[in-house]
Homo-oligomer: A and B are copies of this chain.
Amino acid sequence: MTSEQAPVESPPPLSKYSKRVTVDSISGRPDGGAGLIGQRVVVGGWVKSSREFKLAAPPQPPAAGGPKDISCVEVLQTKLPFFRSIIKVFGGEQRTRDKIDSIIPKPPQPSISILQIGDGSCVSSLQPSLPERKEKHTIELKAEKLLHLGTVDQDRYPLSKKRLPLELLRDSAHFRPRTTTVASVMRIRNGFTQAAFAFFDENGFLHVQAPVTTVTDASGGATESLLRVEATLPDGVKAETIRASIKEKSKKIEELKRSGSNKEALAAAVQDLKKTTELAELVEGEQRRTRTYLSASGRLHLESHASALGNVCSFGPRFQACSPESRRVLAEMWMVEIEVAFSELEDSMQCAMDFLKSICRWIMKSSVEDLKFMEKRVDKHVVDRLQLIAEGPFEKITYTEAIKVLKQAKNERTIEWGAPLSEEHEAVLVEEIYKKPVIVYNHPKELKPFNARCNDDGETCAAFDVIVPKVGTVIRGSQSEERLNMLSGRIKELGLEKKQYEWYLDLRRHGAVKCSGFSFAFDTFVLYATGLNDVRDATPFPRSIGQPNN
């Protein structure tokens, strides 16, 4: 680097564990990267788009150590199409211009390629011209050396086409985060993950990893079908086969005894039988797992830890059978779940509101560029919608009030007390009547899990749903029934298998605590925040009924 062009400051920090500088640490700077002029850095990324121009003469090797006033990213010894490259780039000079074409030399041999290179660290790409907002100045980057190059087969690569609709991208879940839109969605998911954890830490929640495999149906029979787990056995060994083999071996031992054969042969046969018997026990142990299910909710298990540690939380996958057509629900979804000891319905409704406000404020600060992109490309109301939760009030009405209000609203005369609110009813409440998030609470007990606390009216229970525009219910919460006789009564009423709930009933038998909490549908909420319409586009590898292909 020549002294007259000494860099303004030291180079941006290397991305740890990959010896490269992220695009975000260049283009995400307040100066748009201007302070880095004269620097030489290594970047790694994927070519988002490329244009090729012919040059009049072979490109000059760069003057020893000195950056030149060049007009575009120059890539040496390479042929398009190619997809990925690590290139050494160093900054050129700032210069004013209007269009990139105006500064390209007359097109002859050999070629210069202008590339846009993104590495997933931000929406922006590294490119020869920076956006207009930089006072129409541009920073020019010159590729000095290609360190590594991964090609693509352009005819077969699904992302070769520009602006592929999200529906088509679903078949390429392993490629789609390479698109600007899905990469933004994934960064927004990351932001919400951080936001949720920050909320937990600020409010003294302890992380408890609730189990995924369970024998306890947390809904108490409210979900129609559960996903069952069984262990597959090596080579399809079956317990019956082994049992048959045991019979045969026992017979052989009897024969050996009768025939008075030598002791060694008998001992070996006995030893062999012992091994087979052990295997049979192992296999049968595995087969008993067939009654194990994938958990639909971790809240029952969390409650046992809240009943010892106070405030606890969990973030993990939960499972449900769902229609393959659903746009808001998947068979495998990540849920944030919390459970608070010494708390009642009112407390967890407050917690749910605070939680939603907190994560919306966080994402509005942490993901400005990604939200702007989603606003521009997907849904112009993205930020307004976040603002609605972050700053505005929530409406809080009982289920009974909700039914009354819905009956008064035109076209909603069909609904009757006792029925669940449909997606359409929810939309009328939050989008037409109240025009803000609505908490509906005190539902008929038949609509809620078996352990929601019965209210004094004998008909409703201490449960609540937080309903937001666009995606409907994102949080379901309740206060648990802490009275042993009431809870046993509900289990009997619903015809549930009492045995599987004994451990949960134990929490009432010994040191019962008032407890409340909620589940937050993380993936569904990403739809709210991104403006997307299908939860399959907001989830890294969506799982619905039918076999996943990865």
Contacts and interface: CB of A to CB of B under 8 A. Distances in A.
Interface string A18-31: 11101000000000
Contact of A230 (B227, B507, B509, B541): B227
A44 to B, nearest CB: 4
A355 B96 CA distance: 45
A311 interface: yes
A182 to B, nearest CB: 8
Nearest to A83: B511
Contacts of A494: none
A120 B547 contact: no
Contacts of A119: 310, 341
> What is the interface of chain A mostly: helix, strand, loop, or mixed?
mixed
A324 B281 CA distance: 12
A62 interface: no
A316 to B, nearest CB: 6
Interface in A120-177: 120-121, 148, 150-153, 156-157, 159, 173-175, 177
Interface in A203-224: 203-204, 206-216, 224
A506 B514 CA distance: 53
Contacts of A150: 482, 510-513
A234 interface: yes
A529 to B, nearest CB: 15
A334 interface: yes
A211 B545 contact: no
A18 B311 contact: yes
B545 A286 contact: yes
Interface stretch (A288-296, A381-389, A427-435): A288-296
A226 interface: yes
Contact of A550 (B18, B153, B183, B215): B215
Contacts of A208: 186, 189-190, 540
A190 to B, nearest CB: 4
A460 interface: no
A194 interface: yes
A210 B316 CA distance: 10
Nearest to A233: B225
Given A215-B550, A308-B183, A175 B506 contact: yes
Copies of this subunit: 2
A288 B120 CA distance: 35
Contacts of A546: 285, 288-289
Contact of A511 (B46, B193, B482): B46
B540 A204 contact: no
Contacts of A340: 17-18
11 contacts: A44-B310, A46-B308, A151-B511, A156-B510, A175-B510, A210-B540, A227-B229, A227-B231, A228-B230, A288-B546, A316-B316
A305 B539 CA distance: 12
Interface stretch (A108-116, A343-351, A395-403): A343-351
A436 interface: no
A252 interface: no
Contacts of A232: 225-228, 293
Interface in A297-344: 301, 304-305, 307-311, 316-317, 319, 321, 324, 331-332, 334, 340-343
B347 A17 contact: yes
A15 interface: yes
A86 interface: yes
Interface of A: 15-20, 22, 44, 46, 83-84, 86, 119-121, 148, 150-153, 156-157, 159, 173-175, 177-178, 183, 186-187, 189-190, 193-194, 197, 201, 203-204, 206-216, 224-234, 282, 285-286, 288-289, 291-294, 301, 304-305, 307-311, 316-317, 319, 321, 324, 331-332, 334, 340-343, 347-348, 350-351, 354, 482, 503-504, 506-507, 509-514, 522, 539-541, 543, 545-550
A187 B204 CA distance: 11
Contacts of A543: 211, 213
Contacts of A282: 545
A43 B354 CA distance: 23
A90 to B, nearest CB: 19
Nearest to A349: B17
A231 B307 CA distance: 32
Given A46-B308, A209-B540, A211-B332, 12 more contacts: A18-B341, A120-B308, A120-B310, A156-B509, A159-B510, A173-B503, A174-B504, A190-B206, A212-B317, A213-B294, A226-B231, A286-B321
A510 B156 CA distance: 9
Contacts of A539: 209
B230 A547 contact: no
Contact of A207 (B177, B190, B301): B190
Contacts of A351: 16-17
A182 B100 CA distance: 65
A491 B72 CA distance: 43
Contact of A215 (B148, B224, B292, B547): B547
Contacts of A319: 213
